[in-house]
Structure 1
Amino acid sequence: MNKKMEYVDKVANDIQFSGTFHVKNSEGITTKNYGYSNYAERIKNQTNTRYGIASGCKIFTSIAVCQLIEAGKLSFDTTLNQCLDYDFPYFDKDITVHDLLTHTSGIPDYFDEDEMDDYEELWASIPMYHMRSLKDFLPLFKGMKMKGKVGNAFSYNNAGYILLGLIVEKVSGYVFGDYIEKYIFQKAGMEDSGYFEMDDLPGRTALGYIEKPDGAWKTNIYSLPVKSASDGGAYVTARDMALFWDALTQARLLSRNMTDLLLKPIVRVDDDIYYGYAGYMQVIEDKTIKHILMGYDPGVNFRFVQYPDTSLIIVVCSNKSEGAYEILNKIEDLLV
């Protein structure tokens, strides 16, 4: 497998990729690093470098909710109003946990990609350094009108996962990030992963880089909320994400029945792409071909796929805004 991976080098060099890929299959494990975690200091990315994965960590929120459902503290049919005491004057009273998990709630999103091209635009008038808890996101969307009807078509929604994180906090009594670290990261052996603050990052954490119009690079410190949230922003190593998937599929995070439910397709997104409690998946003739996790923020690019039939896992983490998909695509060409 290592010989095949040499072909990835050309793609990485062509696109100036910065990050790490980690591949695990029946032939073994291959990990390779490119670029720098800190370009000013010329600190190279390493196998144990921690990367932001943006929305790639929504699955952690889903698992936390499912754990609380298994504990009898929630159900998929529990409504938003039964969980939270905040006032949502225009939200439908029938929105359930299931609707929020599957992006079918119809609520407005605080970052609406139909109206806003660049996530950085959010922080032009709102200090991103004030976004240190989940409730800090509520003023961005809680007073807005519904965007669609509950239970209708899939519409990707970050705000729904902020609400799910608040539900986890309310029901469990933990700060959201603390809950994930205790009940998911520790159980999965993800020793290098966590929910960090950008102005207090631990060692071995890659800074995110955004290309400027003149071709130079700037960090993303003013482009993202300062604290990781339940809709995205956790920091992981590529290896930790492979460990996480192993723990999930081996039913070490949830019961076998709940794990199977988590991994099932639920709502059709487009053509052969579906969404379930565990994120995206490609489904052909009622068979799940691969599970897909992805995340994008300014200075952050993440891709993950797992093929159930072969147990192939490919993880690509990047500390630039682009590049993870190209690396993933080349690896899939070589191995699938």
Structure 2
Amino acid sequence: MTHETSTSRTSRRSVLGLLGAAPIAAGLLTAGQPAQAEASASGSIPADLRPGGKLDRFVADRAGKDLFSGVLLVAHQGRPVLRRAYGMANKASSVPNRLDTRFDIASVTKTCTAVAVAQLAQQGKIAFHEKLGTYLQGFPAEIGQTVTVHQLLTHTSGVGRPAVGSQPPTRPEWDTVQKVWDGTAKAIRALPLQFTPGTQYRYSNDGFFLLGEIVATVSGRSYYDYVREHVFAPAGMTHSDFFTKAQVTAERTIARPYASQPSGSRVDFTTSDFFPFVGGPHRGAYSTATDLLAFARALWNGALLGPAYAELITTGKMIMPPSEQQGLTRQHLFYGYGFIDAIVGGRHVVGHSGSAAGAANYLDTYPGLDWVALVLSNYDTPIAPIVETARQIIIGSARPRAAAAS
């Protein structure tokens, strides 16, 4: 578990609060149009992060080689300084990706679920130490009376199937939102524990689905309605939602997911039997880069949570294994409550990744530096090189702590 002095915690909250002090310019540029640079209130923007700079050229090069399709957004103090859209949202219909295109954010959805849980905890309706059986029924005693909310949030519960190497529970006959919800809940309850709760870290999508169930049970609203009303709405995420397969295939503002094939080609994953009917608490919300920037602002400016709870969920609690987040340089890597907390170049980088067939995403916020970097893609080609390049520039442009303190 990380440890910070009260001084560093206060600095982290107050500086990140500046993310809410400046308006977000709504970017509606199509691919190939120039991004806009906007001056920071606290000084100049590094040349490498401006339009035409190192990061811009690097992403353009990857897009030109068909290694990236999606949106890049970099912001300082809430103001976008670099915004680009590349590739096609729908190749068959020749619809380009735009800055207002909605992408499957995959596991970045977990940050929204974590916020929902923390909101209810802040209201005294959920306790992190309480057992799963306090809120949900249908589990054997070794699960219901052992697994805690804390363990579900930190991927240490042992609940569910392995996140890698197994398909999520889904059935062709699950053709309504309620059937997906009920079927998934039943399937998870039929699974044995993978390990004794609390003894190890193992990423669990099913664990986060159960957190969504807890949100629904405690709030008296469906998980989807709760997130729409208490996360998306107050954050100003006006283009974000959970969509059914029919909506994804019909809506021109939603990017189709292009999944890589062994042959090297890519296919529209919506045509696959494995494409889910609808997403859930563990993955599958759709959002835009501008909306996710609004989410980052709202997380720290009090629109979603009080400062103590915002810090609670974003602070690292469990050490993640070196095999996680491959391709990214860091000194240490931790999981908080639905957020990844990495130490890079002596700085915290807080956010989450999201990957699936035809999806690769990353949300990075920089406590103390007032930067947010977002990469959303409708390819599953790794975006680690883009994320790593942005991190090196942002961290490298920061003044040393000793100099800043003087």
* Alignment partner of 1:273 is 2:333: yes
SS in 1 for 2:52: helix
Query: What is the CA–CA distance in structure 2 between the aligned matches of 1:36 and 1:299, rounded to whole Å?
Result: 12
Q: How does 1:1-336 map to 2 (within 5 A)?
A: 1-4=50-53, 5-25=56-76, 28-88=80-140, 91=143, 93-109=145-161, 111-113=162-164, 115-116=165-166, 119=167, 126-127=171-172, 129-130=174-175, 132=177, 133-201=180-248, 202-221=251-270, 222=272, 223-270=274-321, 272-283=332-343, 289-336=348-395
Query: What is the CA–CA distance in structure 2 between the aligned matches of 1:48 and 1:128, rounded to whole Å?
Result: 33
Q: Deviations over 1:119-148 (max 9, x none)?
A: 48x66xx32754734332134332222111
Q: Deviations over 1:209-246 (max 9, x none)?
A: 11334444321122332111000000000111111011
**Contact kept in structure 1, 2:176 and 2:277, CA below 8 Å:** yes
SS in 2 for 1:232: coil
**Contact kept in structure 2, 1:128 and 1:224, CA below 8 Å:** no
SS in 2 for 1:85: coil
Letter of the 1:255 counterpart: G
> Mind listing any 5+ residue stretches in structure 2 that lack a counterpart?
1-49, 323-331, 396-406
1:35, CA displacement in angstroms?
0.5
Letter of the 2:60 counterpart: D
Q: Deviations over 1:232-273 (max 9, x none)?
A: 000000111111011001121011111121221111113610
> Mind listing any 5+ residue stretches in structure 1 that lack a counterpart?
none
Greater shift, 65-74 or 80-89, is seen at: 80-89
Structure whose CA Rg is larger: 2
**Contact kept in structure 1, 2:131 and 2:144, CA below 8 Å:** no
| Larger strand fraction of residues | 1
Q: Deviations over 1:32-83 (max 9, x none)?
A: 0110000011110001000001111101111101111112211112211110
Query: What is the CA–CA distance in structure 2 between the aligned matches of 1:185 and 1:106, rounded to whole Å?
Result: 30
| Identical counterparts, % of pairs | 26
**Contact kept in structure 1, 2:174 and 2:183, CA below 8 Å:** no
SS in 2 for 1:91: helix
Query: What is the CA–CA distance in structure 1 between the aligned matches of 2:176 and 2:237, rounded to whole Å?
Result: 25
**Contact kept in structure 2, 1:134 and 1:230, CA below 8 Å:** no
1:90, CA displacement in angstroms?
5.3
**Contact kept in structure 2, 1:92 and 1:146, CA below 8 Å:** no
Q: Deviations over 1:285-310 (max 9, x none)?
A: 9x752113101111111112111121
1:157, CA displacement in angstroms?
0.5
**Contact kept in structure 2, 1:89 and 1:143, CA below 8 Å:** no
1:112, CA displacement in angstroms?
4.0
Letter of the 2:257 counterpart: G
Greater shift, 99-108 or 126-135, is seen at: 126-135
Query: What is the CA–CA distance in structure 2 between the aligned matches of 1:7 and 1:335, rounded to whole Å?
Result: 15
**Contact kept in structure 2, 1:134 and 1:165, CA below 8 Å:** no
Larger RCO (CA under 8 A, 6+ residues apart): 1
TM-aligned CA distance change 1:213 to 1:148, over 3 Å: closer
Greater shift, 70-79 or 229-238, is seen at: 70-79
Letter of the 1:238 counterpart: A
1:332, CA displacement in angstroms?
2.8
